[in-house]
Structure 1
């Protein structure tokens, strides 16, 4: 597609009508379906996103997750268009404007109205968080209304841009990157670049404050980096609202994410307060604050139990180095920029001068400093040694002095995948080695596989694992839709038909005896099985492990002497996914990646006649043609290890 303009085609199904907005990720166009003129909003991503092959692949992989994110308070994603250098998300068109428009038109609104609006936002977030998707950019601009706002409305909120936030931000998830809007960023995102569902709740709290006061809590003089840093160091200025309401706002804006309510609980609290304070009138717009009250100590930082994908983070706030760049001067604009590594500045310790005669003469400040430094180093060394040799696991009462072994075998999956695991413990190195051996039956299996490597107990941290035999990365809930703790993505594996592939994991554990090792191995296998068979997860990830069946779909009525359209629909633990077919015959393009992974591509697909000659099959077994009239006919199919598939009955008639 050339430069977007009114009247231009967007893929094969849409046509652009008018540009209606723009943002950090791209422009928003009003589009209409070429089939029935239905209006949609199409967000066309910027060229740098569309030219990033990893991001495009991520979007395609996430299509079912985004399309499956359905709730009355979420703008539904209807389609994804990938065409040349164009990458666009097609969403429902929501005509009532945004909360930004509402604020611009009338300023602060009554407390009950503000809390009702934010409760609906939190309802949407609760659903998304339950699917493992965080938004990362909640602000009034991304909260739309289904109709022009009037006091007393309910049920009109539509949160948008989940797709942009959960996918575009993926490459910015590490501590060297930042995505969000400075005036709405949670402290842990500012300090470490890491996020969690609690950060979305915080941003909603900022938005509630803005709806009450007409401005965000930390708006004031300075650049947007200055504004962002206030989230970490400053307290929000007090609003003239009842104490109970102010306490609720403060809970949403807690510096420590563990002190914030979950999205669902926060929504319930706001609705309860809205009923109590229904008679409160809107506040006068609050003036811009020139100075802010500083917190007594830096906020507690986000721990690894709050971010599944994050590396473990020290339980303190590190100071920013002085050479951090300015983010810009527009605190309400989303930014997607790199942040340099932070260094903890060294500050001189202050030691009071001892009173004369109270302490010995040799107890000088220098001695105190040296002793204190030495004590800190000794403690750090002891903790480091314990962590290195124990791998962060809880200490066992005893550690085995001889080599231990355990083994486990999964049931063969419908795709033909078999998985066996062997674990061994080396008492000299205190390392556990696990060999995962994957086998395939009639068809080659490839792509990504999931393995869960949990701690030795429920309270233990996920171990640091060294892998061999595959390209391995930490499992990302936000890109798979599978809520997994201690999960690993084993990518690029190829298990040949009637062959095997082995991958090795090695990590430190202190194991007491063979039964403890065997129990842990069974638990790891069970956790992996539970993740891949989760019926609530709508996802196309890990097809070699998660595909349960394939539906052969044909039209119910066919005309003789015409090709038969056959669609192979994958069935996951959550059900059939007609939006992401494995294959369609006659084929009009390259086979899907899923088909390649579970059947080796078209080579693993064959159709066969069970209609006594009423249909004809091409020599390659891939094209079906209706020949003669019959009241009832079914088509057989073989796809990889799924060798006895049958379509629903269909009839063949004449053209008349």
Structure 2
């Protein structure tokens, strides 16, 4: 690694590294602590040497965007994305019960009911991902985490992690440029033609179930990792000593034909029905892997090794552990379509690998014509002198046509339009630190030379509380001397109009008011705009110019919302810095305690326009709705050991008994651990 990390080191503005709990091909997994609350989370950190690679950064950012949209009890929840200089990390829930791999190491095999239910919960997570257009592509025990200590009969413990190599389901019919997955768990179609979709995840779950029942994967045995992968395509899984209906379900999940497998949701329902009918089936005794495998009847084309290319192949994947016990380093092997396996590809294992493929040659090899015994061909009867003459004339005519084409074609091509694919010539990324309200902003700019515009994509993410209202984005001109561009915003989720200083109080050039945005708690929304650009503005140094422009946009927006010379309540989601909890200096026992939540702006606290007053009257302020979702985002609690009582909805505080020093604690949206100044509670006299 380019630099080492140590316990106690800051991660972004909100976290602190505690201890390293795992590592993989391109990153490390650390236990981290939330600085404000002390809560323990897990963080997957990209290695610093990869942070300068735009392709890896793009995949890393995309991984977080995919994960944050996956909200399901059986999926590890993503909390935050850190992008700060060469430091990139995904922060997610810490799952402490180990993994399916640890469970197998401790138990060898599981009873049928436990294996079926654990696999069914894994399929629940996959079904939720498939419904959102995401496939996992690396289902294995290492990526199935357990929430807490597992015991026989326990349900609801599964947390599937490491969707870092997931792909969009709409691309499932596109051939990949390499094998990506773990050989012992890869579906036949992933090996034979590089295709991977939702059925491949179901196949991986079938391998998982087989392993939980028997203590080994169906095609584990002697040979290299390619040999193991080859068996998925050409061999039948060894039959287990289980009831026929259970083996029939396993065969269905492990079908060679993707179309013959059930969906993840159907498979989960099937396994649950089986678990009810096999409650007392004991675990199988672990056995050795077989040496020979029964072959399938149909031939198959698979990917095989190419020694010429393998020497220069490199691993290229953002696939690390996302929690304490997941993720292993990937290998690197090259393959091409062929008939026979390459014998030297390394030892088989359960590591995730990505393997570039060398495309097969289009021209088949042909054998040289067999020479006659006398050294020359005899002249056929039909080859008369007249036929030879006509043949010579034909050759001359063909030559004339070829010469004419050579002379004419370049000129014709110069004057004939040739359709070309419109491709972006540069892409830039930028991500802000999370704001105190929990808002995170990720910016992507993609320049399309053919169209002459930059597509600007803004991704707004929220943490603990839903966020709404108006958002400010400053979009400067591209290139020196350019004025404010006429951005064409194309999203129906917001209404875009130029910022009006007379209304908002923010006098900023090129500012846009994006109103009507609603970012769900733990979720995100995207807003897209098209920015016209003159070709001369990005003619030279396209990538560096685009990077500089995006950084300038982010800096201008940050400067505008952080201006301490501006007063007013505009753009609270971006401008609110904190919340003060204010109470009277003295309270009387057995009375309701007045509590006021005062917003703190860059210019300081604003007592004249509070966020909230308790007991409340009328509707909550719009500011409170924007930053905390209204009253549901406010909760008060006793800070004086029982001297205060709080209503069941957490909104009304009552002084109960005498106390010389007392405080009120509060949570307001993403603002946690708020506490008032000390006050005393006395009797009425």
Over residues 397-421 of structure 1, what are the superposed CA-to-partner deviations in whole Å (9 max), with x where a residue is unaligned? xxxxxxxxxxxxxxxxxxxxxxxxx
Over residues 71-113 of structure 1, what are the superposed CA-to-partner deviations in whole Å (9 max), with x where a residue is unaligned? 1000111112223333222111111111101111111111111
Quote how far apart the aligned CAs of 1:14 are: 1.6
Aligned to 2:238: 237
What is the CA–CA distance in structure 1 between the aligned matches of 2:554 and 2:85, rounded to whole Å?
23
Quote how far apart the aligned CAs of 1:615 are: 4.1
Aligned to 1:336: 354
Aligned to 1:545: 490
Quote how far apart the aligned CAs of 1:165 are: 4.0
Over residues 608-642 of structure 1, what are the superposed CA-to-partner deviations in whole Å (9 max), with x where a residue is unaligned? 9xxxx97499xxxx998579874589xxxxxxxxx
What is the CA–CA distance in structure 2 between the aligned matches of 1:347 and 1:285, rounded to whole Å?
48
Matched positions, count: 421
Over residues 416-452 of structure 1, what are the superposed CA-to-partner deviations in whole Å (9 max), with x where a residue is unaligned? xxxxxxxxxxxxxxxxx9xxxxxxxxxxxxxxxxxxx
Aligned to 2:441: none
What is the CA–CA distance in structure 2 between the aligned matches of 1:269 and 1:616, rounded to whole Å?
55
Contact preservation (8 Å) 2:78, 2:90:
yes
Q: Any idea what SS the aligned residue of 1:163 has?
A: coil
Instruction: Work out whether 1:188 is the aligned partner of 2:189.
Output: yes
Contact preservation (8 Å) 1:616, 1:624:
no
What is the CA–CA distance in structure 2 between the aligned matches of 1:602 and 1:251, rounded to whole Å?
55
Q: Any idea what SS the aligned residue of 1:339 has?
A: strand
Q: How does 1:40-55 map to 2 (within 5 A)?
A: 40-47=41-48, 49-55=50-56
Q: TM-score, normalised by structure 2?
A: 0.53
Contact preservation (8 Å) 2:42, 2:91:
yes
Over residues 499-545 of structure 1, what are the superposed CA-to-partner deviations in whole Å (9 max), with x where a residue is unaligned? x9899xxxxxxxxxxxxxxxxxxxxxxxxxxxxxxxxxxxxxx9943
What is the CA–CA distance in structure 2 between the aligned matches of 1:142 and 1:19, rounded to whole Å?
18
Q: Any idea what SS the aligned residue of 2:164 has?
A: helix
Contact preservation (8 Å) 1:615, 1:625:
no
Q: TM-score, normalised by structure 1?
A: 0.55
Contact preservation (8 Å) 2:97, 2:146:
yes
What is the CA–CA distance in structure 1 between the aligned matches of 2:445 and 2:229, rounded to whole Å?
37
Q: How does 1:147-162 map to 2 (within 5 A)?
A: 147-162=148-163
Contact preservation (8 Å) 1:615, 1:626:
no
What is the CA–CA distance in structure 2 between the aligned matches of 1:98 and 1:154, rounded to whole Å?
15
More divergent stretch after superposition (329-338 vs 255-264): 329-338
What is the CA–CA distance in structure 2 between the aligned matches of 1:204 and 1:177, rounded to whole Å?
22
What is the CA–CA distance in structure 1 between the aligned matches of 2:231 and 2:59, rounded to whole Å?
34
Quote how far apart the aligned CAs of 1:197 are: 0.9
The structure with more radius of gyration: 2
Over residues 359-395 of structure 1, what are the superposed CA-to-partner deviations in whole Å (9 max), with x where a residue is unaligned? xxxxxxxxxxxxxxxxxxxxxxxxxxxxxxxxxxxxx
Distance 1:625 1:283, change over 3 A: same
Q: How does 1:13-52 map to 2 (within 5 A)?
A: 13-47=14-48, 49-52=50-53
Aligned to 2:338: 320
Quote how far apart the aligned CAs of 1:232 are: 0.6
Quote how far apart the aligned CAs of 1:546 are: 2.9
Contact preservation (8 Å) 2:225, 2:348:
yes
Contact preservation (8 Å) 1:8, 1:16:
yes
Aligned to 1:246: 247
Contact preservation (8 Å) 1:98, 1:143:
yes
Q: Which runs of 4+ in 1 moved over 6 A?
A: 344-349, 500-503, 566-570, 572-578, 580-583, 599-608, 626-629, 646-650
What is the CA–CA distance in structure 1 between the aligned matches of 2:23 and 2:97, rounded to whole Å?
17
Instruction: Work out whether 1:228 is the aligned partner of 2:229.
Output: yes
Over residues 146-200 of structure 1, what are the superposed CA-to-partner deviations in whole Å (9 max), with x where a residue is unaligned? 0111000000000011135449xx99x8543121111001111112222101111
Q: Any idea what SS the aligned residue of 2:222 has?
A: coil
Q: Any idea what SS the aligned residue of 2:283 has?
A: coil
Distance 1:92 1:254, change over 3 A: same
Where does structure 1 lack aligned partners over 5 or more consecutive residues?
Answer: 302-317, 350-432, 434-464, 474-488, 504-541, 553-565, 584-592, 634-645
